Amino acid sequence: MIDPERALEARKERMLSEHLAARGIRNAVVLKAMRDVPREAFLPPGMELFAYDDGPLPIDEGQTISQPYIVAYMIEALELDGKERVLEIGTGSGYAAAVLSRCVAEVFTVERLAPLAETASATLRELGYHNVSVHVGDGTMGWRKHAPYDAIVVTAGAPGVPRELLEQLAPLGRLVIPVGPTQHLQELVRVRRLADGRLQHEDLCPVRFVPLIGEQGW
């Protein structure tokens, strides 16, 4: 009989080799974080078997946990050196925040749905991710209390880059966000704040995220 834990570990290793490394994820810190964080712990009960499939999965409140490749890709796109204070918009299950927490100094994450924020906070605390702070609020407005941030990542699609988030981005900071004219299809965009304060936009790849709801979103 196959040991469930060994089977899950084998699926994780396959995810790392086939779905991440083979598709271009190169950052060793990001790959290690993806290996170390147990994605199954952030899923509803009974979904553990699917934890390392390379696709989004449903969680509570009609939301989803992003596919592993996209989580790794977006974190790698932030070009982190490990010392950053990062703002995440869209806590969801808390999985991406946990991965981020192994790549940076501090993570501040905002979730508009209180039940999700409470569950994510409890899971993160229970698993020992103590450098993550969870806040319930309108993600399009960021979290001014702890601004500015060296990097910002948004895990929901917006009609444009929220002005409030740009204002909370530190000099030389990077912001990664899905942007598009509809609620169901976007382009992943990286915005850099240059040394002189100017903003530089770069298109990365087409993506599909749930809509970013809020004052400066949909």
Catalytic annotation, residues: 66
Helix (H, G, I), strand (E, B) or coil at 120: helix
Burial 71-103 (b: 16+ CB within 10 A, else e): bbbbbbbbebeeebbbbbbbbbbbbbbbbbbbb
For the chain, the straight-line distance linking the first and the last C-alpha, in angstroms and rounded, comes to 50
**28-36 helix and 68-77 helix, angle to the nearest 10 degrees:** 140
Question: Which residues, other chains included, contact 163 with Cβ-Cβ below 8 Å and sequence gap of 6+?
Answer: 216
Q: Are strands 64-65 and 149-154 parallel, antiparallel or unpaired?
A: unpaired
